[in-house]
Each structure stands twice: as C-alpha cells, then as structure tokens.
Amino acid sequence: MSSLSSSRWFCPVLALSLTGALAACAEAQEPSVAEQELVSEITIDGLGVFPESIASDAAGNIYVGSNPGVIYRAQAGSDIAEPWLQPDDENSPMSAFGVLADDARGLLWVCFNPSMGTEDGAPAIKAFDLASGALEASYPLATGEGPAMCNDITIAPDGAVFASEMLGGQIMKLAPGGEAFEVWAVDPEFATLDGISFAADGTLYANAIQRNTLLRIHREEDGSFARAEQVQTSRDIVTPDGLRPLPDGRMLQTEGEAGLVTVITFDADGSAIVTPIADGVDYASSVTPVGGRAYYPEGKLRFLFGPDAGKDPGAFVIRSVAIPEVQ
C-alpha cells in the first residue's frame, strides 16, 4: 500500500472478495447500450492528451487515460469526454496508461507511470470508484530489480487482477483478497509486453508491441504460470497494442504504428485470423467495445515524438467503427 499523504488519494487496501456470481469475467461482458444511444465520434476535452488506453463499463460510459495523468470520461451517449479524475501535486508528473472498468466491483483500475521523458515518481496501480471517482486502493508496482512500467490490466474469471509490465517483461497479479501485486510470470516472450486480456472462454492473451507478437498464455490447473505460446496469425501484425475481449470469443486489437483496429478470430487449431476493421488511425493505441461498435482514440504520438514533436496536434478524438458479426 502506498503512503500517500493526501486525503484525496489515500485509503485502506481494498478487500477483494467475490462470490461465484461476481467472479464471472466482467471485462468480457458487452456493455448493455442500445444502438440508438451510441455516437460515432467523441471529442476529448483537453490539451496535450495523447491518450494511451480506453475502457468502457456496462452502462456504456467510456474512460480514457492520458499522458498528463488526467482520466477523461464520456458518459453514455455523449460526444464529449470530459476530465473526470485529475492527479494532485503529489502524484505529478504521472501518466495514466492502462485503464479497465471492473463492473463486478464497481471500480476503474488505472496504471500510473512516470510521465514520458521523466524519471519522477514510481509506477502504481490504483482503483477508483466508478460512481464517485473516489480512490479505493493504491498498489505500488514492486517488481524487484530494475525499472518498471505498467501497461494494461485484465481480470481473471476468479476475480484476480493481472497487469502487464513492459520493461521487465513480467505479468503481475493481485490475488482475490491480496494486498499487493506480485510477479506472477516472467518469460522472454514478455519483452515489451503491452495489451493483456482474458478472452470470454477464460484463456489469457497478451501482445508484445516491439516483438510484433500475439501470445497465448497457458496456466496450470492451480492457476500458476505454465508457458507462453506465440499465436500464428493470418497476417503479420505490426506494433500490436490494446487488447479487449468480445462476448462471442473473438477479441479486438489495435496496431499502433500501422494505424489499424482489428478483430481476432481464433481457429480450432489455435491459430488466429486477424481482420482489419478500421485503418488510417493516427496511432491506434487501444480499443473498447460498446454496443456493437469498437471505440478507439487517436494517440497522435507523432506530435509527441519524431519530426512533428512540438507542433499543435489539434483536437484529440475517439472514433468508432461497427464490429462485424461472426461469419
């Protein structure tokens, strides 16, 4: 538990206890939002946002993390994502990376890391109340030796919380009722680990952004790590990033530098068909399903790094595309 002194950010460690009904993988439940309530495009009301991750809850509200650490929320049916959670002075400069709505516990999980280009602060995973925005728990990301970066979060069918750690190539786990994230698995395949998600059938998947790989992560019967396996894909994937489950067993994934949003369909032989459903995205870092549509922010990282750094990136927008039905 962190020792933050600000009353706004401090609270006791959250007790994680789930009944069998709540243990179902809430992340894989498609938000119950009527098609007519959806908007096709959402403008993020902020400057220098450079969004990294996006999530949605069962009500259809959309949450976006940002480089300055602000969490933006677009309420269901709104075309504006407004500032919802802002770090205080003690938590700056920190960037909000992975975000994940946990409807079973009424929480928003967020990965916080030192802002890009700085070494100030330490990475942590925080949980906020979905209704009020109040901080419910804070967990330092203690991975052992070396620097660490929390990239994304997923929830197992039994309620355990898993997080991808990029710099050390590790998967962290907070067991139900646990008080700290612990190293669950380390593997050479986890170098540059990014998106992580349990599919609807309970299988754990992750991707490695700089290795251009999609991984199926096998677990032993007792839930411990067994091995990581590269999934053979129908086309080469380039800088894979955000990974989110669909209730029908498929998954959504983005390819950052390729500017793609894709649907992944798994074959019986374990291979995967990767089908682009949106292209030309100005850096596709993440995606979330809401009511039959895939919502994805444009990261515009070319204005943060590279030849366009320092230029005005303009407005940051969350776009969407219809998710095709299973063929």
Instruction: Indicate the pLDDT class of residue 147, thresholds 50, 70 and 90.
Output: confident
pLDDT at 318: 98
Task: Tell me the average pLDDT of the chain.
Answer: 87
Q: List pLDDT tens digits, range 44-78.
A: 999 999 999 999 999 999 999 999 999 999 999 99
Q: From the centroid of its chain, how far is CA 48? A: 20
Residue 107, φ and ψ in degrees, nearest 5: -125, 155
Q: Does the pLDDT value for residue 31 go beyond 90?
A: no
Q: Which is nearest to 100 in space by CA: 178, 167, 153? A: 153
Q: Which is nearest to 159 in space by CA: 242, 223, 207? A: 223
Please state the rounded mean pLDDT for residues 293-298: 98
Domain ranges (residues) in the chain: 39-322
Instruction: Indicate the pLDDT class of residue 274, thresholds 50, 70 and 90.
Output: very high
Q: Name the CATH superfamily, with its identifier, for domain 39-322.
A: YVTN repeat-like/Quinoprotein amine dehydrogenase (2.130.10.10)
pLDDT at 306: 78
Q: How far is CA 85 from CA 69, 104, 108, 134, 163, in A?
A: 9, 21, 11, 9, 21
pLDDT at 91: 55
pTM, two decimals, is: 0.88
More confident residue, 269 or 29: 269
Q: Are strands 135-140 and 124-129 parallel, antiparallel or unpaired?
A: antiparallel
Q: Are strands 204-208 and 193-198 parallel, antiparallel or unpaired?
A: antiparallel
pLDDT at 89: 60
Instruction: Indicate the pLDDT class of residue 21, thresholds 50, 70 and 90.
Output: very low
User: Which residue bears the tokens 């677990």?
Assistant: 219
Instruction: Indicate the pLDDT class of residue 33, thresholds 50, 70 and 90.
Output: low
Q: Does the pLDDT value for residue 16 go beyond 50?
A: no
Q: What is the share, in percent, of the chain residues with pLDDT greater than 90?
A: 77
Please state the rounded mean pLDDT for residues 82-95: 77
More confident residue, 104 or 2: 104
pLDDT at 279: 98
Q: In the Cβ-directed half-sphere of 230, how many Cα atoms lie within 13 Å?
A: 12
Tokens standing for residue 168 = 């050390």
Q: List pLDDT tens digits, range 160-197.
A: 999 999 999 999 999 999 999 999 999 999 999 999 99
